[in-house]
């Protein structure tokens, strides 16, 4: 069965520091990969997604993620954290052999940004 | 206006009561979903619907039922609420694509069962 593991339920960085949120998946076939962000009192919104092609994917708000097949990872990064990045981030996978709709979400990582 | 709306946004109810959570969307998507979010568990799928006549159970459907009244409306019911159904509930929509369904979420309904 597919699964998604996000390392660290909480990550704290200083404003201006590198943001690194880790995500690993288990799948016999590379799935479609997503990062969603949830701001307080809001629903999730898509940050970026990997389907095929270039393994480095750029998203909104300066975030990017790199698909590494050999490591079954899809870590999210941002070179310089901003206070407005404080939110909860969810990694998600959609198996490619299920019609592309059954998304499995990780447990989430809450990002804190210190002034 | 928001593309996916949920009502109510907050609800407190007592054990044993029936409650309905409603979702409406203006995106014109056929696929709709209900998830619950619990701390440390992420989002778990309760039910999903591909169109008005196609409704399917997700991984945690016990204790819940749904109704797809129209393409734009998908309701979630708790027939007899229990305290462990206290959670944040999200409705989402998607459109079938060639490369995975990006999902569009409503703002959520915070449900407390006392």
Residue B49: pLDDT band with limits 50, 70, 90: very high
pLDDT of residue A101: 67
Report pLDDT digits (tens) over B53-63.
999 999 999 99
pLDDT of residue A23: 97
Is the separation of the CB atoms in A47 and A35 below 8 Å? yes
Q: Which of A13-22, A98-107, B7-16, B17-26 has the lowest mean pLDDT?
A: A98-107
- The tokens describing B22, both together, are 């409603």
Whole-number average pLDDT of chain B: 93
The residue-averaged pLDDT of B89-97 equals 88
The three state secondary structure string of A14-54 is ECCCCEEEEEEEECCCCCEEEEEEECCCCCEEEEEEECCCC
The answer, yes or no, to whether residue B99 has pLDDT greater than 70, is: no
pLDDT of residue B96: 75
Q: Give the mean pLDDT per block of 10 residues along chain A (115 residues).
A: 89 97 88 93 92 90 94 96 97 78 89 96
Tokens 């970026």, residue?
A: A48
**Segment 60-79 of chain A within 8 Å of chain B by CB:** none
Q: Which residues in chain B are contacts of A32 at CB distance < 8 A?
A: 99-100
Residue B114: pLDDT band with limits 50, 70, 90: very high
- Nearest-Å Rg of the Cα atoms of chain B is 13
pLDDT of residue A106: 94
pLDDT of residue B15: 97
**Residue contacts between A and B (CB atoms, under 8 Å):** 66
Q: How far apart are CA A64 and CA A60, in angstroms?
A: 8
Burial classification of residue B107, based on how many CB atoms lie within 10 Å of its CB (0-12 exposed, 13-18 middle, 19 or more buried): middle
pLDDT of residue A100: 57
- Parallel/antiparallel/unpaired status of strands B10-13 and B109-113: parallel
Q: How far apart are CA B38 and CA A37, in angstroms?
A: 16
pLDDT of residue B83: 96
Comparing CB atoms, the residue among B41, B94, B105 nearest residue A101 is B94
DSSP 3-state assignment of A57?
strand
The answer, yes or no, to whether residue B23 has pLDDT greater than 60, is: yes
pLDDT of residue A2: 77
Is the separation of the CB atoms in B47 and B61 below 8 Å? yes
A48 close contact with B: CB closer than 8 A: no
pLDDT of residue A99: 62
- The tokens describing A104, both together, are 């499995």
- The tokens describing A112, both together, are 């804190």
Is the separation of the CB atoms in B86 and B110 below 8 Å? no
pLDDT of residue A3: 87
């Amino acid at each position: 069965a597919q699964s998604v593991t996000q390392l660290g339920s909480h990550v704290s960085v200083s404003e201006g520091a590198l943001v690194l949120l880790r995500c690993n998946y288990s799948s016999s076939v590379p799935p479609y990969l997503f990062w969603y962000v949830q701001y307080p009192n809001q629903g999730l919104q898509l940050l970026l997604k990997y389907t095929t092609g270039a393994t480095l994917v750029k998203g909104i708000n300066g975030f990017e993620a790199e698909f590494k097949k050999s490591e079954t990872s899809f870590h999210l990064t941002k070179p310089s954290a901003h206070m407005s990045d404080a939110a909860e981030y969810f990694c998600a996978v959609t198996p490619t052999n299920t019609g592309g709709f059954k998304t499995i979400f990780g447990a989430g990582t809450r990002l804190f940004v210190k002034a | 206006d928001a593309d996916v709306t949920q009502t109510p946004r907050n609800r407190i109810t007592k054990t044993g009561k029936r409650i309905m959570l409603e979702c409406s969307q203006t995106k014109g998507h056929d696929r709709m979903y209900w998830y619950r979010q619990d701390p440390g568990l992420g989002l778990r799928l309760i039910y999903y619907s591909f169109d008005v006549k196609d409704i399917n159970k997700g991984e945690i459907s016990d204790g819940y039922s749904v109704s797809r009244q129209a393409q734009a409306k998908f309701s979630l019911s708790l027939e007899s609420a229990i305290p462990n159904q206290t959670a944040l509930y999200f409705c989402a929509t998607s459109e079938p694509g060639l490369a995975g369904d990006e999902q569009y979420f409503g703002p959520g309904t915070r449900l407390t069962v006392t």
